Structure formats: C-alpha cells, structure tokens
Structure 1
Amino acid sequence: MSILRKDSFFSICFLLISAATGMGVLTLPWAFRQTGLFLGIIVLLYWSILCSTTIYFLIMGGLHYKVSNITELMYYSILGEAKIENTPIEAELSSVGSKKRVKIASKVAVLCDVLILFDCLFIIPCLLIFLSDFLIPINILVQQELPKLSIRYPGLEKSSLAKLFYNLFFSISLFFTERYRCIIFFCVIVFLLCIPNNFSAVKLVSVLSVFSSVSTAIIIIYFGLSSNQPPECQSGIMAANTNFCREGKIELFNYNSIREFWKITSVSNIILFSHFCHLILIPTTKNIHHMSTRKIKGIVITFVSAIFIFNCSVGISGYSIFRSNTLPNIISNFAYNDPLIVLVRVYLTLSLTVTVCMEIIPLIDSFSSTVMFLFKSIGSLIDKRKSEIEITSSIKNSEPNLTADEETNSNQCTSTLASTVNLTPYFGIN
C-alpha cells in the first residue's frame, strides 16, 4: 500500500508517533493532579510548541547537511559543511581551513555518541522492565480464570482439543510469571523485528503501535465519560484494599504546585518524556529528502498535534476519574481483572515493544561510532608508542657510531701530529 511506504507522509508520521506514545502515558493523569486541569494543559501546550520547533530544526538540519544521525549533524554543523557521500572524514578534513574547528567537532561528536549510548543503555532496560510488569499480571489473570472455564462450561472437560489449549495456555502463563523470562522473551521479539534491512518490520509495526496508543486513550476516555464512576473514598478497613475510588474535587489550578517549583519540573519531565522521539528524527530524513518544506512542516504539525491530543485526553480523563486519589500509575487505580484494563496492558505492551525497537536504531549508531573511536584511539596510541621506541632505538644506535667517529678523528689527529714530529729533523729543526 502506498500509504505505508517508507517514504510516505503517513508512514513518517506513524513512525514518529509510535516512538513517542507509550512512554510516560500512565503517569499523565498523576501529572494533571500535581498541576491542576488548566495549568497541566498550559504546560502540555508549552512543551508541544517547544518540541515541534526542535523537531523541525533537527529534520531540516539533517536534510541540509545530508547526515544520518544526530552525531553527524553535530559534527558537520560545527564544520559548516555538508557531508559528502562515500567520502571518508579524513578527506573532508583536508578541505577545512580551521584545524581548531575540526578538533572541536570531533570532540563534540564523540561526546554526543557516548551520551546517546548511555541514554539508550539506560532507557532500553527500563522499557523491558515496564513490559514485563505489563505481561506478568496478564499471565496471573490467565492462571486464575482458566480453571473457572471448566466450572462454567462442564462440556469442555470431555473435549481433547479444549484440554490441549488449556494445558498450552496454562503452561505459557506459568512460564511468563518470572520477570527475567519476560525480558528474555521481549529481547527475542525485538531482535526479530530489527533483523530486516532498514528496519522495515519496525516501520510496519509502528502502525499497530499507533492503533494501540489510540485504543488506550479511548479506553481511559470511556472510563472518564462512563456513568459507572468510582465511589468516594472511605476511610476504613473495607476501603484499604482498593484504589478504585475518587477523592476531592477537580482542581483547575493547583496553587501548591506553583509555589513548589519541583512539582512543575517533575510534570515537565513527564510531558517532555512523552515527546521523546528526537533520536530517530535524523534517520528518517533519508526517506523524506524529496519532500517540500511545506510537507515537512505538515509532518511536524501532525505529529505534535497527535501527541498533544493524546496526552490531554489521557491526562484529563484519568485525573477526572480519581481526582486527588490518582496514583502515579493510573492502572493501579483499577481492578487488575477488569477486561478493559487487561486490553490496556496488551495495547501498551505492543506500543512499548515498538518503542524499544526505535531505541535500537540510535543505540547501534552510537555503539558502532564509539567502538570505532576507541579502536582509532588505541591504534594512534600504539603508533605513537612505536614511533617513540623507534626514535629511542635510533638514538641509541647512533651513539656508538658517534663514539667510533670521534675515536677515528682522534687517531687521525694523533698520527698527523706524530708524522709532523718525525719530519722535524729532516727540515733541520732542533
């Protein structure tokens, strides 16, 4: 389909949206609880405008300098020259007049690679842990609900096919109750998705990720608009075992958060995290080099608008349901066996799996660049050490020759003097 081509408008939009959604989504209602309804929307709008600006400049910079990642963008923007295809960096350095600028660009590129590498090495394990936290409750629920099917439908016990599926699903649910097994499973899935060239599988699955994120938002909005609202929180033994209750009223402006600057800062970090797709912006530019500036602006506006609407709908709906009782993880407020919440876990599992795949792209680029830099540094140190050893050995070898030359000159002088002394009687000199 033309709509899903790697260089199509919607394909790029889906790729960027899937890279951002799913990260920090469940914390958005708690963020609105910290700021209040209107103040949360203002903070969201501010970060949307700021992120759209940085995204646009990054994309245009990648197109102008013809680079494939952020590190190259930093390097060539400092040099002030576009990248020449199929030309080594050393050849390009000879055409640059300022050696100081080249040194600065090289150091900045290495620093950028190291920072991206550590960032990806931190965020990927966190996402894998989140994925395992979504998968484990689903498997526990399967273990609890499967035995009830035989009670509800007595005829299933006589069916060999039903027994086969029962044993299969029960064994799978038992296997995935351990976190390390879930993490290994998702590592295998991510590896299989990232094997195809140019991450084509990830780009196709990104459509499914966007669908999952939209479905998550629809479910939370449904809970917010539903007539079946949670009861008021009651202090007592009966209320101690459930978080499905609301407390207080909806705040438009939480003045405590204005007085306490750290609350606004924490909310800003959550919202900024939900726009986090900057690392894959530059790799996408090689698929949109044929697009006009107007179409690129359309991509950025579509992406930022989708994220803003998504974040607002999830944050406002989640906060309006539980109000002051909203927990940092909105799923914790609901019953774990609620069918819609189970669907949310499934949807977010799909979305975060694609997000992990997106993080692999900058991880591979930064890792390969860092390894190449280390090898070059080690090679240059070895060459420097070899040259020092050669110079030292040549100096040591030249010392005996100098001594021999000095002795030869001394002997010549002595023999000359002796011959002069022997000739004095001949000339009649006493």
Structure 2
Amino acid sequence: MKRRPRIGLALAALACGSMALAGCTGGGGSKAGAGRKAAAPPPVAVAIAPAANATNVPVSSEVVATATNGKITEVTLTDDKGAKVDGAMRPDGSSWLPSRPLDYKRGYTAQVTATDGAGKATTSTAKFTTMAKPDTIVQTSLNLQNGQSYGVNLPLVVAFDPPVPKEARAAVQKRLLVSTDPPQPGAWSWLDEGNQVSYRAPDPWKPGTRITARAALAGLPMGKAGFGDDDHTAVATVAPDAVRMDIDNDTKQMYVYKDNRLVKTIPVSLGKPSTPSSSGNMVIMEKFDSTVFDTRGEPNGGYVVTVQDAQRLTWGGEFIHSAPWSEGEQGYTNTSHGCVNVSSTTASWLMRTTHVGDLVRVRGTEVQLARGNGWTAWNDSWDQFVKGSALPVPQDLKPAATPPPAAVTPGNSAAPATTTPTPAPTNSGG
C-alpha cells in the first residue's frame, strides 16, 4: 500500500518555524533594549587666556577662549569695579577683541559661556591683572584722519619709532584693522626697516568709499622695540572724483586727469641734473597754502624761501608748488631743486582740484623713487607689495591686480624702485 505524503504536517511545521523566528527577532529584541539608557554627551570644557590669576598681562590682550565638546556662545569682560568692557569676537572667531585698550594695573574678569549639542550651557571665569605702564614706548601714528576726504590712491600708513623688529611684525599687523563700505579687501606691507607699514587694495578705492581703521597698538608688545603708545582710530571717506597727475620729463608737461579724462595740461620745470626729481608713483601727502623751504646745511641747498600752494610728494622734500620765479623756464628747462615747479595761477587751481591721496606719476628723470620716501605703496606692483606682509595673504588677494591706468604721456616705463630707510620729513624743495 502506498503512503500518502504528509504535506499538511510539513506545512504546519514550516509555519510554526516562521512564527517562532519572528517571535525571537521582535519580542526578544524589545526586551533586551528596554533597560538601556542613551549615553550622556561628554561634558563641555572651556579654556581661557589670559589664564586665571595671571599677572603683568599687557593691556592690549584679547580674550582667547576655546571649548571642547561645545561652542563658544558668549564672552564678557568686566573690570574690578564691575564695569563692562565693550568688545566683539574677531570675524574668524579666534579671539574676543576689546574695543579699547585695558587700563594699566587693573584687575579684570573674563567670563566665557559655551553650549554643547544638546543646548546645555557651561560658564567659566578667569581673573587676571594687567601690567604697570612700561618705560620703553614705541611712538606710532596713523595717516588717516577722522572725518577727512581722500584721493582714490591713498594708502593707509602706520609709522613706528623705533622700528618694529621682524619677529614682532606679525603680532603688530594682526592689530591693524581696516574695513570699507563698499567692501574692498586689501593687504599690509612692511618696509624692510620696520619703521612703516602700508595698506592698500589691489586697485584704487572706489570713489565715495567709507574707510574705517583702527591701529590697536596701545600697550602692545613689539619685541625689543618696546610697547605701543596708543590706539589710533579714524573714519574717513574717499572723494567722489578720481584725480591723478602724470608728469613727463621729456615734454616738461603735467597731464591732469579726472575720472580718467584729461582736463588740463600744465607746463612744469623739474629738478635740474644736480638735484633731480624722482621718477615713480607717488601720492600727495600734505597740502600747504604757504610753507617755508629751509635748505641751510644741505649739500645743494643753503637757501630759505617761502612758497605758496605746496603739495608734498616725498619725505625728502619734493613738492608740487607755485614758482613764479621759474615761469619762463616751465615747459622748457629743469631748474628746481627736485620739486615740480608750476605757475602761481596753476598752483592755485591744483590746490582746489586735488586731494591728499591723489596719484602723481613722474617719468623720465635721472633717479628713481626710493621705497619708503613718502607713501610709496603704489610704486610697487601688487605682487611685489604683498610680499611685504608679515601674515599670510588671503588666497583671493594673491593674483596680480590691474595696474593703474596707463598714462598718455611719453616715457611711461617704470623702473624698479630702490630701497632706503625712510628719511625724516624735510621742506628742502625748491
């Protein structure tokens, strides 16, 4: 007799096995995980500098705060009388910068709050005391004056006496703060001697730009040179018109441009061969209705003369100025002691037309402009200029920039600038 296959039993067993498998996976897993708790996040740790109980802290100090397992959300600084110090985080978040230098020999409390991923806040504090006023002071200055209007080629210039040693320049440069509206980023560049650092953008400022600058140097350690003397702040604007002057020794003419349009051609007399004018890109540094040139004691000088409508181009004493005594030679012969001589009428017109910070380009003379003899930032190409920075230059500022507009005068090739220490300002032109 044939046996019938036991299909029903087999199917029943298979179904039972499937149910059992499902029951082990679902029910067993739920029971195993029911008693577990989520792991607690690691606690937030905050480190603050200046450190707690630190003494002799420079009054230029910033609050540097770092958070482990969290993010810095608030920094406050109060003095020992409970007064709050204003300030803000740097844009890169590296530190909190007070809006003014701290006081000497004063106690302060830094309070830093950090928050973890779950929103839990942790606050830490550090009390410190600033140093006494130092004996060794570095005299500093900023050429930007509050509320003034300047030409489109004005470089910002900070000067130091004595010079800043090379190893201290990066720390000093970090305290030189510039913002513009509209935004037009630039870079700083040091003279080799360390007595001057200049700031400009790759291209001239846009007319109407608002420039805000702070040289936060009070109490700043500058290596063996000493400590900075003061903070310098200024808000200024760029003139609505772009003026420049191109001077060609071959033609003995000055070509005045406004917004790249030639508006006037002026005969000039430059420095004679024994006292030549400098060739290069300069900017107007100062303007005087009247000033005195005193060259007594100088090898090629010995005279004292009062001149009208004078505009300084170099620290060494080269000016554009009224020279009624040479009007017959202007346009034909060089007779000056290095200055750009123009007629009285023309000098008066130039004083009404130009701004401190306007570009003046001289070509074809016997000597080249020395780097640092004036505000010479525009005598360097952009690639040359950024090599003088003590800090890394942002990537978007590294490509070569557009050069100043080409002059329409003969003899327009620029020779390399020489480098000499910045001379003391003199009125030795003529």
Query: Could you say which TM-score interval applies, normalised by the shorter chain?
Result: under 0.3
Richer in helix (by share)? 1
- Could you say which structure has the greater relative contact order, defined with CA pairs below 8 angstroms and 6 or more residues apart? 1
Q: Structure 1 length normalisation: TM-score?
A: 0.19
Richer in strand (by share)? 2
Q: Structure 2 length normalisation: TM-score?
A: 0.19
